Chains A and B, each alone.
Chain A
Amino acid sequence: MKIKSRLALFISALLVSVVFLGCDGNILSSVATSTASVDISYQNIIGVLSSTVYYQCDTGIFSSEAKATNQVQLVTNTEDNIVRFSALVDNKYILYATNNQDDATGKKLHVYDITDTGNNGTYTITNTGITTIKGLYNNGYLLAEEVSGSQNSYHLFYTPKIDPIEKTITFAGSIGFDYAEGYNLANFYQMTGTENATTGYALLSFVKEVTSDSSSTSYLYRNYVIDLDNHTSTAFTTEIAYETANFVVDSLSNFYLLTIGGRIFKGVSGGSLTQVAYNSYYYATNAFMYLVTSGTNNYLVTKSTTKSSALIVYTITNSDSVSTTSIRKGYGLRLCSDLVNATYQIAENDLLVATNESGMVRITITPASVTSNTIANGTSTDFEKYTLPL
């Protein structure tokens, strides 16, 4: 009898372990569809013109046609000129900034003219208020720090005009941010897929150290909504203690901020932020976070910092109830095996997605079945087999 009860206990323990140790699943399907890494690490999809995609990777700037054919290297990285930021301007110029500190402090950017390489070279920015270039983004926005005596500030310049005769760049204007109250620049965010958009919204985040002792330090993040249409900025009234990974805006102008620790905050521009979800996923800054809408629900399709992890879809109902689903099939078939580094929206729910070491894919998402972990949820090309619009 004693032996029988011990055996029953052992079997029960095994069954319990079966229930609790398993998670995510779909291992063999992921294994069977795994592909070898390619010798390229994408960093930015600069733009798509006709049947050519322009992109930045770890060795420079390239163009390719569909399925990664006819690859041409346009800009080659050198030790003192490694491309860090790039943007497509007027569907004609690739504007890029490098790690060269003299360029950053000398108000200089580089230009590659897609249609006339005779115009290529280093151009000077004519605008004032630039001490150091901090960033250049896909939509042509330039973030610069201005140091004036003891007073520092940041300026977000927009709408660059390139003069190939004078070799100058003049931005149409700028949005200013006071660098006060101990705040430092944290990051600039653009919504996944619409990084090239000059309309809609972006986010600029500042951080302040609020407590500091020998054992702990905490931070407060102030997030500004950048209205790209009207060139204005408005801060959320709530400062949060968590660094933002990325954000989306729904059709009702609700902002959803995903933090690097897996929290989701909701709010409207100029209003407060309220936490609506907290899950144990971790995200990088500028993480893959794509909004899909179906019925009255919002779906946030995300990729965490774990290379071989499923896409996590947050379902947010109109009453702010949040649930998650893991996706490894359909549109997630390839993206579940690598980190996402860059995106480009071809059309709604139709994206080019570039990964860290496996290549680029084109995915389509079917909104009605976005949370279905089956081939019915959408499509994904194989790595480096992406198609492009003609």
Chain B
Amino acid sequence: MKKILIAVLLSLLVPVAAFASATEYKTGSMMFTFKGGATVPAFIKFFDNEGSGLDDRFWPGEGNTGLNVGGFFSLSFEGFTTPYLSLGGELGYNFNYDAGTVLFSMVPFFFKLTYYPIQGDFDMPISLGLGFSYWKYGTDNSLMTLYANVDIGFVYYFWKDWGVGIHTGLWLAPELNYTKTDWVNNALLGMIPVTLSVTYRS
């Protein structure tokens, strides 16, 4: 069993090794990335189904999460602390319309830790983000809450410093209401982003 597991791990690492070249980055390297794309509402998990009177919802549309596929763009900065790890931050804007065409928007701003197992002409950044997001629903309903994400990308540098890529992952953002009577409606929102990126590195 252990041999099989090692074989599987090695087979997964082979393509990584094939792409890997001498490290592209060093401590102090920097990176700026602009992302734009779509966000797919994946689920809304209500922590108290009985109290809220609502079942958990999955995927876009009326009767499901109620949200339609929306759009997202962001700007991020990263600074490398080792050749493989960077620390940075990202600020974005996301919007989705609900079934009744009411605008739901989210402004995530978070710190991110990114690991670059593959780097060179072709990068594969894997990020973990943690921070906050500001929500607005309609014109008068807003909330500041937590935010976390995982993001995996594939970026090709067609020039030495400029690359284009595609990313996906998962966002998690809880709605933690401040008023005790609203706690029954606390829930967790999951979104799947699919974005294209333009990156400048130095």
Taking a contact as CB atoms closer than 8 A, the residue among A24, A32, A37 that contacts B142 in the complex is A24
A18 contact set on B, CB distance < 8 A: 132, 144-145
B184 contacts chain A at the CB level, 8 A cutoff: yes
- Is A81 positioned at the interface, with any CB of B under 8 Å from its CB? no
- Name the residue of chain A whose CB is nearest to the CB of B57: A32
> What distance in Å separates the Cβ of B30 from its nearest Cβ neighbour in chain A?
21
Q: Which of A24-64 contact B (CB under 8 A)?
A: 24-37
Partner of A29, one of B52, B62, B132, B140: B52
Which of A151-159, A180-188, A370-378 contacts its partner? A370-378
Contact check, A329 vs B138: say whether CB atoms are below 8 A apart.
no
Contacts of A21 in B (CB 8 A): 134, 142-144
Q: Does residue B114 face the partner (Cβ distance < 8 Å to A)?
A: no
Residue from A18, A23, A29, A358 having most chain B Cβ neighbours under 10 A: A29
Total number of A residues with any Cβ neighbor in B under 8 Å: 34
Complex Cα distance, B182 from A373, in Å, reads 7
> Do B138 and A25 have beta carbons less than 8 Å apart?
no
Q: SS class of chain A's interface: helix, strand, loop or mixed?
A: loop
Q: Is the CB of A28 within 8 A of B178?
A: no
Q: Is A22 an interface residue (CB 8 A)?
A: yes
Provide the residues of chain A in CB contact with B166, threshold 8 Å: none
Q: Which of A24, A32, A35, A372 has the most CB of B within 10 A?
A: A32
A30-B51 in contact (CB<8A): no
Chain A's closest residue to B137 (CB) is: A27
Q: If A27-B141, A31-B65 touch, does A337 touch B102 (CB 8 Å cutoff)?
A: yes
Q: Do B178 and A22 touch (CB < 8 A)?
A: yes
| Interface residue stretch chosen among B8-16, B82-90, B93-101, B156-164 | B93-101
Q: Cα distance A310–B139 when bound, in Å?
A: 11
**Any A CB within 8 A of the CB of B39:** no
- Are B185 and A329 closer than 8 Å at their CB atoms? yes
CB atoms of B54 and A23 under 8 A apart: no
Chain B CB within 8 A of A161 CB: no
Residues of B close to A19: CB separation below 8 A: 178
Asked if residues A374 and B44 are in contact (CB atoms below 8 Å), the reply is no
How does the 8 Å CB contact mask read for B152-184 relative to A, with 1 for contact and 0 for none? Answer: 000000000000000000000001011101101
- In the complex, whether A307 has a CB less than 8 A from a CB of chain B is yes
B46 interface contact, C-beta 8 A: yes
The reply to whether A309 and B135 form a contact with Cβ atoms under 8 Å apart is: no
Is there an interface contact between A26 and B185, defined as CB atoms closer than 8 Å?
Answer: yes
A7 interface hit (Cβ, 8 Å): no
**Minimum distance in angstroms from B142 CB to a CB of chain A:** 6
Q: Is the CB of A34 within 8 A of B132?
A: no
Contact A28 B102 (CB under 8 A): no
Is A105's beta carbon under 8 Å from chain B?
no
Residues of B within 8 A of A337 (CB): 100, 102
Decide: A29 and B46 in contact? CB cutoff 8 A: yes
Chain B residues positioned under 8 Å from A24 (CB to CB): 140-143
Render B30-48 as a binary contact track against A, CB cut-off 8 A, 1 for contact.
0000000000000010100
Whether the Cβ atoms of A27 and B104 lie closer than 8 Å is yes
Min Cβ gap B101→A in Å is 7
Question: Given contacts A33-B66, A372-B181, are A306 and B144 in contact (CB under 8 A)?
Answer: no
Once A310-B141, A329-B185 are accepted as A-B contacts, the answer to whether A25 and B177 lie under 8 Å apart by CB is yes
A308–B181 CB distance below 8 A: no
Residues of B within 8 A of A33 (CB): 54, 66
Whether B69 sits at the interface, judged by CB under 8 Å, is no
The answer for the CA separation of A308 and B97 in the assembled complex, in Å, is 12
Residue from A28, A30, A358 with most neighbouring chain B CB atoms (10 Å)? A28
Smallest beta-carbon distance B47→chain A, Å: 10
Shortest CB distance B87–A (Å): 14
| Contact status B141-A308, CB under 8 Å | yes
A147 on interface, CB distance cutoff 8 Å: no
Contacting B100 at CB < 8 Å: which of A14, A36, A306, A372? A36
A17 at the interface (CB under 8 A from B): yes
Q: Is B124 an interface residue (CB 8 A)?
A: no
Interchain CB contact under 8 A, B46 and A30: no
Provide 24 A-B residue pairs closer than 8 Å at the C-beta atoms, listed in order of the A residue: A21-B143, A22-B143, A22-B145, A22-B177, A24-B141, A25-B143, A25-B185, A27-B135, A28-B185, A29-B46, A29-B185, A29-B187, A31-B65, A32-B46, A307-B102, A307-B138, A308-B100, A308-B102, A308-B137, A309-B140, A329-B185, A372-B181, A373-B181, A375-B52
6 A-B pairs with least C-beta separation: A308-B138, A25-B177, A34-B98, A21-B144, A34-B99, A28-B187
